[in-house]
Amino acid sequence: MLVQKKKLLKTIIIFALCFILFITYIFLIEPNRLEKTYLIIETDRFPENSPPIKIIHLTDFHIDKIGWREKRVLKILASEEPDLIFLSGDYLNRKDKLKELTEYIRSISDIAPIYFTLGNWDTLATQEAVIKGGGVSVFEKKLKVHPVPGNNFEFNIFSIKYNWAYIGESNEKRRLDELLKDLDKEYFTIFLAHTPDHFPFAIEHDIDLMLAGHTHGGQFRLPFFGSFYTDSKFGKKYEKGYFKERNTILYVNRGIGMTGNIKFRVRSFCSPEILIITLKSKKK
Ligand SMILES: [Fe+2]
């Protein structure tokens, strides 16, 4: 009997320790384990005589406060010395942090020019805060060719108004057709989206690169199972990472922060991500 009791106690202690370790991991370790993903894209639309350019894509900050993770992002950005920085929305979990957001965006724009769009957590006040910090909005903007400072590479960039939700095939097609009717294919074209749900339309319009976030990679994942929820009409299909169909590349970034929808800010087997893209001329 005593041996059985000892065994039970030992099992309970092991379970309790595992539980404490897992809680520590999902609350403290994984949310701060910033991972860098490197992606090289070669294109015919890049001038042969130009040095490659480095673009950093960040998304889904979901800021509650400017803490260790946000400051660490700044350090990584500074050490990578990008030419451009793209932001895909969902900046704040708390509406009272607009001033902090402006200051944070200013610290990022001191490193490189920022182009940004909005996400489903953002309002026009958020947009103003990011613009005040030095960001250039492409939200609901027509195509425009932008130069890269110090480089003779020019690119198109655009976003759409309802870029966080699928708005129905005919609505979406009409909106994109309107935005893209003057598309000059001489230039590399980037669709700065929030959700990956628009990927079929990016393929149809022969967009070179679509950058998205929104899914957070599922945020809470388990080994061999993956995510529980992605908030995408495609479910797990485009939950994270690299995809290429026909001429269009899609990268779905896992994002930096965690959704404010639930009280607990946790990540499991889904670390925050900084995407570092090198864009260069295709070798002929
Ligand atoms: Fe988000």
Q: Which domains does the chain have, with CATH numbers?
A: 33-281 (3.60.21.10)
The predicted pLDDT at position 1 comes to: 67
Q: How far is it, in rounded angstroms, from Cα 43 to Cα 55? A: 14
With a cut of 70, list the residues of the chain below it in pLDDT.
1, 142-143, 162-167, 284
If you measure from the C-alpha of residue 259 to the centroid of ligand 1, how many angstroms do you get, rounded to a whole number?
6
The predicted pLDDT at position 236 comes to: 94
If you measure from the C-alpha of residue 89 to the centroid of ligand 1, how many angstroms do you get, rounded to a whole number?
7
- pTM of the entire predicted model: 0.93
The predicted pLDDT at position 266 comes to: 95
The predicted pLDDT at position 166 comes to: 67
If you measure from the C-alpha of residue 215 to the centroid of ligand 1, how many angstroms do you get, rounded to a whole number?
7
If you measure from the C-alpha of residue 164 to the centroid of ligand 1, how many angstroms do you get, rounded to a whole number?
9
Residue pair 158/130 in contact (Cβ under 8 Å)? The answer is: no
pLDDT in tens, 30-87: 999 999 999 999 998 888 878 899 999 999 999 999 999 999 999 999 999 999 999 9
Max Cα separation, the chain?
82
The predicted pLDDT at position 163 comes to: 66
If you measure from the C-alpha of residue 108 to the centroid of ligand 1, how many angstroms do you get, rounded to a whole number?
19
> 77 by DSSP, 3-state: which?
helix
If you measure from the C-alpha of residue 156 to the centroid of ligand 1, how many angstroms do you get, rounded to a whole number?
25
If you measure from the C-alpha of residue 205 to the centroid of ligand 1, how many angstroms do you get, rounded to a whole number?
26
The predicted pLDDT at position 250 comes to: 98
The predicted pLDDT at position 149 comes to: 79
If you measure from the C-alpha of residue 148 to the centroid of ligand 1, how many angstroms do you get, rounded to a whole number?
28
If you measure from the C-alpha of residue 168 to the centroid of ligand 1, how many angstroms do you get, rounded to a whole number?
21
If you measure from the C-alpha of residue 87 to the centroid of ligand 1, how many angstroms do you get, rounded to a whole number?
12
If you measure from the C-alpha of residue 226 to the centroid of ligand 1, how many angstroms do you get, rounded to a whole number?
18
If you measure from the C-alpha of residue 260 to the centroid of ligand 1, how many angstroms do you get, rounded to a whole number?
9
If you measure from the C-alpha of residue 122 to the centroid of ligand 1, how many angstroms do you get, rounded to a whole number?
10
Residue pair 63/258 in contact (Cβ under 8 Å)? The answer is: no
Tokens encoding 97 = 């942090």
β strands within 49-195, DSSP E: 53-58, 84-87, 114-116, 135-137, 144-147, 154-158, 188-192
Q: In what order do the strands lie in the sheet with 135-137?
A: 35-43, 273-281, 53-58, 84-87, 114-116, 135-137
β strands within the chain, DSSP E: 35-43, 53-58, 84-87, 114-116, 135-137, 144-147, 154-158, 188-192, 209-212, 221-222, 226-227, 241-245, 248-252, 273-281
If you measure from the C-alpha of residue 79 to the centroid of ligand 1, how many angstroms do you get, rounded to a whole number?
26
**Nearest-CA neighbor of 211 among 179, 167, 163, 170?**
163
